[in-house]
Structure 1
Amino acid sequence: NDSGVSHLAGLCGTRTVALFGPTSPTVWRPIGPDVHVMPFDASTASIVSRLTG
């Protein structure tokens, strides 16, 4: 399970950004008051690449 940490963070109220590839965020998204979900596609990949160097 590669999303366990995002689920725990969301439930603890930690600001969370979850990137989703081929799986459905409607079904598998973390739950929490400050959880934001983004699709991981080509445009998101370029942003992540710039942020992480």
Structure 2
Amino acid sequence: MTVLAIEVSGGGQMYAYRDGQRAEFYVRVGPNTVPARHHEIAAGFRQAPTGTTF
């Protein structure tokens, strides 16, 4: 069994985790880290500086 723990600091930033070819995106909602919804992922790419990779 594999266990992955991700600690994400507060703020309005989106975070990504890559597992091979698949990337998973997360955002902070209050004290919780939750999977990002499609519109949050799209907004994150619009705000990402040039050259940012996930």
TM-score higher than 0.5 here? no
Structure with the higher fraction of residues in strand conformation = 2
Bigger relative contact order, structure 1 or 2 (CA pairs below 8 A, ≥6 apart): 1
Superposition TM-score tier, normalisation by shorter sequence? 0.3 to 0.5
